[in-house]
Amino acid sequence: MDINRANLDALFRTISTAFQQGMEWRPPVDLGFMTRDYPSNSASNFYAFIHQMAGFREWLGDRVWNNLRSERFNVPNRDFERSYIMPANDIEDDQYGVYGPIWQDNGAAWQALLYSLVIEVLTDNPEIFDGKAFFADDHAYGDNTIDNLTDGALTETTFEAAFTATASWKYANGELIRPMWTHLLHGPKLRSTAFELVDAKQVSDDDGNLVDNPNYKRCTRVEIPDFVGTYDDYWALVDGSRPVKAIARQVRKTPRPIMDTRPEEVELSGDIKMFAHGRAAAAGAFPHMIYMARL
């Protein structure tokens, strides 16, 4: 195929279509139960976190005005890119068919990146609005404290202890938070342990007899393939029942492929440059929506 503007434009359309097809791919684990996506229209997003959550009281007499204290937390967008150089000779020799699947895979890679941003929050434990790590034992909610971090291995004892400990969590106004732990996160190493905890209808008692499992279907088990190596003993309880979620994610710019279709530039360099650029970020949001073991 000759190197001319019409042929280069046609190649670019092929690449763009492949990229958009790839964008339809989704990671095998849907993390929507713990992630809220927010629009982003600037270099960063500011999030306001209210220490005293909304609640209702019986209206007797005058209104009772509550002073809500909030924290503004800045989450800057991060830049991500993917760039390739394709030899111009591949165009002339009609050997460019392989590049379509590559760009289709790059479209899928953006979806994989959005997934990875959430996983990063779980594994890296970044600082959040109160100046502490997302998982910490001393998140202050007014005069109350939220401890959403443990170092206990996943067992029946630690699993049940997590429900007991978090049942006493309170907002700044003293109202119980009442977390509904809907999901249990674990990695491949803990698959059998997690299955015995929440998916097995019967378990063995101390005498080896089969008895009904009191935790059967207490929450949904979710295997996180990224909980391996250093993180293979990590596990977490997540409250996915509410409109607010444990992790905030924002997308400032969704990538689209760009290609230099000027024949003179291609002839000059002997290469065709193709690239894409996106902007996004994720951050820990509400500590009381997740309880995590980091061993």
Q: Is residue 86 included in any domain, yes or no?
A: yes
Q: Which domain holds residue 162?
A: 5-48+74-293
Q: Is residue 130 part of a domain?
A: yes
Residues 6+ apart with CB under 8 A from 202: 210, 211, 212, 213
Q: Domains in the chain: how many in total?
A: 1
In a domain, 158, yes or no: yes
Look-up of token digits 């139960």: 33
Q: Report the alpha-carbon distance of residue 194 to residue 116 in Å, rounded.
A: 23
Say if strands 183-186 and 220-223 run parallel, antiparallel, or are unpaired. parallel
| pLDDT tens-place string over residues 64-110 | 776 555 567 899 999 999 998 888 887 777 666 677 788 899 999 99
Do the domain assignments include residue 202?
yes
pLDDT for residue 88: 84
CB-CB neighbours of 176 under 10 Å:
10
Three-class secondary structure assignment of 10-65 = HHHHHHHHHHHHHCCCCCCCCCCCCEEEEECCCCEEEEEEECCCCCCCCCCCCCCC
Pairing of β 35-39 and β 271-284: unpaired
Residue 99 resides in a domain:
yes
Residue among 256, 258, 254 at smallest CA distance from 84: 258
In the predicted model, residues of the chain with pLDDT beneath 50 are none
Residue 87: helix, strand or coil by DSSP?
Answer: strand
Please report whether residue 42 resides in a domain.
yes
Residue with the two structure tokens 């600037």:
42
Q: Look at residue 208 and tell me if it is in a domain.
A: yes
Query: What would the two tokens of residue 64 be?
Result: 């009772």
Rounded to whole angstroms, the Cα distance separating 131 from 247 reads: 16
pLDDT, tens digit (0-9, with 9 covering 90-100), for 140-179: 988 999 999 999 999 999 999 999 999 999 988 888 999 9
Question: Is 66 a member of any domain?
Answer: no
The pLDDT, as a whole number, for residue 56 is 75
Q: Check residue 54 and give its pLDDT.
A: 57
In the block, residue with structure tokens 């279907």: 217
